[in-house]
């Protein structure tokens, strides 16, 4: 792969091919992981990573196990394709909306079954577990809109206010993070919490205990310092 060049409002910049290739490899690995972990079926989800003003995205309708280093697909923040020949994901408006308006460096969208089921039942996922705090608070459900539209992108941005995850009504999930691992982990945690709530809510004669706003906030503050310090 040769060095790629692109034009931006700030002028012409060089992107080192090695960096693009490395990030693309990580993106493809994450996309394949969503299939392996049964968060998507076939090509129903999509993944993106931002490198400067370039957004690498999974292409539309291509099984992830068939993607190669030569299939790298990238657009600028206005959606103009600047890398590759494969058509970018149909959900590009959604990914670009998140990359343009948040500190996201990676976005993961899935059709995870439990999360999608929850999206058909409530307007936000009840705070049934303290990991709610890791996502900024109770996860909202963005109102339904046709996939791949600016309307859907607008709905999800509203649902993401002060959050790093949302559910898409009758559709699926979207999470973002500063890395692919972080975005993916948030997707997995969201699906797990949805499964947990559906399981607890299905017990006859019982109503799940929910955490208070203060408990969720306290957990979120504590989780922000979780893990090894670097």
The residue from 25, 91, 151, 221 that is catalytic is 91
Q: Is there a catalytic annotation at residue 91?
A: yes
* 3-state per-residue secondary structure call for the chain: CCCEEEEECCEEEEECHHHHHHHHHHHHHHHHHHHHCCCCCCCCCEEEEEECCEEEECECCCCHHHCCHHHCCEEECCCCEEECCCCECCCHHHHHHHHHHCCCCEEEEECCHHHHHHHCCCCECCCCCHHHHHHCCCCEEECCCCCCCHHHHHHHHHHCCCCCEEEECCCEEEEEECCHHHHHHHHHHHHHHHHHHHHHHCCCCCCCCCCCHHHHHHHHHHHCCCCCCC
Which residues partner with 175 through β-bridges? 108, 165
Residues with active-site annotation: 91
């Amino acid at each position: 792969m040769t060095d790629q060049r692109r034009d931006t409002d700030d002028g012409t910049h060089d992107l080192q091919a090695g960096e693009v290739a490395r990030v693309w490899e990580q993106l493809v690995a994450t996309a394949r992981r969503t299939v392996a972990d049964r968060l998507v079926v076939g090509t129903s989800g999509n993944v993106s990573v931002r490198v400067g003003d370039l957004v690498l995205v999974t292409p539309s309708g291509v099984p992830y196990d068939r993607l190669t280093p030569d299939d790298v697909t990238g657009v600028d923040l206005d959606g103009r394709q600047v890398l590759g020949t494969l058509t970018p994901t149909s959900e590009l408006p959604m990914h670009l909306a998140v990359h343009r308006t948040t500190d996201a460096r990676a976005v993961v969208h899935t059709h995870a079954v439990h999360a999608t089921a929850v999206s058909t039942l409530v307007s936000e996922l009840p705070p049934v577990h303290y990991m709610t705090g890791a996502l900024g608070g109770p996860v909202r459900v963005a109102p339904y809109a046709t996939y791949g539209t600016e309307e859907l992108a607008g709905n999800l941005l509203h649902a993401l206010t002060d959050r790093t995850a949302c559910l898409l009504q009758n559709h699926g999930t979207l999470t973002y993070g500063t890395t692919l691992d972080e975005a993916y982990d948030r997707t997995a945690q969201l699906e797990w919490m949805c499964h947990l709530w559906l399981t607890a809510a299905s017990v006859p004669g019982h109503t799940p205990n929910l955490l208070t706003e203060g408990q969720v906030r306290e957990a979120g503050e504590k989780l922000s310092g979780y893990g090894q310090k670097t």
